[in-house]
Structure 1
């Protein structure tokens, strides 16, 4: 029962992490720039917005004209979302609270573990690409001789949170099988010990 509860917790954390990753991917405020007291410029992976109180947004027209960090971040974030979506399906099949593969307990546990590992990889990809994006923004900020440069925005923090939650959910889903295997091995070894000692008494 405890294992099923841990799987549900991991699945919920991974689901929230996936939602945060999707939200961060389509958020506009990946980097921001302030011009004056009221005028703001925001740039995301898909569009850029600018204005005072009322902002106007435009989609990025050409992929080739985008900076390298935007192209790479867009690709890796989409890959992370795809992996998480597949892990969602795999974990659903392998969880104890579902009725899939009930006759194959060992295969069911292995399926849940595979889904958890996929969640971990997806979360790790999100964390790595987001950190690299921030590094590029900070590096450009310090190397620029202009008075006003871009800074990273709120989408970065949402992306970090999504990656961490996805990884945490994957750990809960995958490591329960490891602990269960160790427990089963310890139980079997405890059963073997008195058996061997009893045989030695007969001799």
Structure 2
């Protein structure tokens, strides 16, 4: 197996990794379980409260669920606004990374010379890295807020725990960052290999 084939399969592996991470980050937006809390009223009945970036929900032991969207945009806490913005930015950057990766990969043959392909692949890797960092920062900030409120003895309102969406988001963010980093490393190596030698 020659060097070019190894690079091609590596790019395909990085692309699949980044696309899977991007899909996981996208899937967290409609998931309702960013936080959850369960309150037992009696031995038989209990209520579960859960929320995401868009609404608060409650369900009882009978299976009935009621959701209410946040009533006022301006009344929301600042960290929710910033988490929304960072997640949407991450999704857009990941989409640009997908497009650039498809253009720059060796197996698609959409780019120009080897140097141009390497530069496009580096741009894709940078987009994936930025996407992963934005998502990781948003999920970590949201999770830190939940943990700090849960551990704060002076926090008198209802306390929540980390929901499944945060763990999915952390996994997707890690895949984006790992794939983007590998994209950059191998694209730079390929660019150095393909650089024409100076003429004497």
Q: Aligning the two structures, in what range does the TM-score lie when normalised by the shorter sequence?
A: 0.7 to 0.9
**Partner of residue 179 from structure 2, selected from 169, 185, 190:** 169
Query: How many corresponding residue pairs?
Result: 185
Counterpart contact for 1:25–1:159, Cα < 8 Å: no
The answer to whether the aligner puts 1:107 opposite 2:133 as a matched pair is: no
Q: Which structure 1 segments of 5+ residues have no match?
A: 189-203
**2-structure distance, mates of 1:145, 1:128:** 24
* Alpha-carbon contact 2:49-2:58 (below 8 Å) kept: yes
Map of 1:1-203 to 2, 5 A cutoff? 1-36=5-40, 38-52=46-60, 53-101=63-111, 103-143=112-152, 144-146=154-156, 148-181=158-191
Q: Tell me: CA distance 1:68–1:87, structure 2 relative to 1, closer, same or farther (3 Å).
A: same
Runs of 4 or more off by more than 6 Å in structure 1? none
Q: Which has the larger radius of gyration?
A: 1
SS in 2 for 1:74: helix
SS state at 1:57 partner: strand
SS of the residue corresponding to residue 66 of structure 1 reads coil
Q: CA RMSD in A?
A: 1.9
Task: Using the TM superposition, give the Cα deviation of residue 141 of structure 1 relative to its aligned residue in structure 2, in angstroms.
Answer: 1.8
Report the TM-score when normalising by structure 2: 0.85
Between the aligned partners of 2:191 and 2:113, the Cα distance in structure 1 is 16
